[in-house]
Amino acid sequence: MSDLILGIETSCDDTSVALVDRSGHVAAIKTVSQYTVHEAFGGVYPELASRAHLEAILPTIQSVMDEAAVTPKDLCAIGVTRGPGLIGSLLVGLSTAEALSLGWGVPAYGVNHLRGHIRSVELEDGQTEFPAVIMLVSGGHTLIAELKDAWSYRLLGTTRDDSVGESYDKVARMLGLGMPGGPAIDRAAKLGTPVLRLPRPMKNEGYEFSFSGLKSSVARHIENHPDVSLEDMSASFVAACLDVLVAKADRALSECKPRSLVIVGGVSASPQLRDAMTDVAGRHGVNLCLPPVKWATDNAAMIAMATWDYIERGVKPALFPTPNLSLETP
């Protein structure tokens, strides 16, 4: 049997295709960004995202297969994101995977995007020691969970409103930093000082998150102080976010006593967050697991990696879009 999985990721605004083997080696990957499509809107416009996926997906698949000199006979499965995400974007990936599955005679698995992020730390020979505490920080999700193994999760808490990544993007837009907002704010924050007093919502309350109040506070400060230093505002915002995330991670490590702390999702690429979580893991004497920066944001390699878990456990969900799919659902 071949040892390659074709991964397809179209949950939001990137068309990504990858070939990954069981060890986490990425044989080939290509991701087509839609930044120029959505830039004028200040965020993702769902209908345009779907159309862009339709235009990009088949050429992207062909490009990846050609780069790795792979034919359908070399594949053991196709893994495709079935949720959570934008329903139109999900449908493009799922329909394509189903058609290829029928035409090539290769089984297709509908993969939970959140589980893909969690498995991103295994790419390029990474290894998580279980049990572990996982924190997912991305543009669409913020959650913290306990992992007994690669398959069994206990959700501790999630966001009640905006995700931390969404807040980064919205604050970046307020400051005129453009898209993607996260890297732009991190760069500006390095040049500033966190001198502004901003709230730390729910910092001392369990494992739930809430970032809408912080975002609103930034908006009010900019409105009342239009001459505020962009760098100081960025540094103050980042410091507030990190204080909340560190407090939750500290609490979870003290309660669960895991062997690893796993930080995944687009915001895990933040240098400031990486430094802060390195300190947290060091204080608790646990192994810190971070995906390589290039695998932190949405990508098809993580979807292919997660597909191996579905195959090994004989779980084959229907190829049906589930925009609000939860972590607990395979």
CA distance 168 to 230: 14
Beta carbons within 8 Å of 40's beta carbon, 6+ residues apart: none
At 60, phi and psi to the nearest 5? -70, -45
Q: Which residue positions form the known binding site?
A: 113, 117, 136-140, 169, 182, 186, 298
SS3 at position 261:
strand
Let me know: does 266 contact 239? Beta carbons within 8 Å: no
Provide the token pair at 299.
């990508």
Residue 238 CB neighbours (<10 A): 24
Q: Which domains does the chain have, with CATH numbers?
A: 4-120+295-313 (3.30.420.40), 129-291 (3.30.420.40)
The partner residues of 77 in beta bridges, in order of sequence, read 5
CA distance 253 to 148: 14
Q: Which residue positions form the known binding site for Fe cation?
A: 113, 117, 298
Please, what are the averages of pLDDT over each run of 10 residues along the chain (330 residues)?
88 96 96 82 84 97 98 97 97 98 98 96 89 95 94 94 94 88 94 96 95 95 95 98 98 98 96 98 97 94 97 96 93
Per-residue confidence (pLDDT) for residue 248, from 0 to 100: 98
Output the CA–CA distances (angstroms, integers) from residue 136 to 145, 164, 297, in the order listed. 9, 10, 11
CA distance 310 to 220: 47
CA distance 246 to 252: 10
Closest C-alpha among 139, 183, 180 to residue 38 = 180
Query: pTM of the full predicted structure?
Result: 0.94
Per-residue confidence (pLDDT) for residue 1, from 0 to 100: 42
Q: Which residue positions form the known binding site for substrate?
A: 136-140, 169, 182, 186
SS3 at position 207:
coil
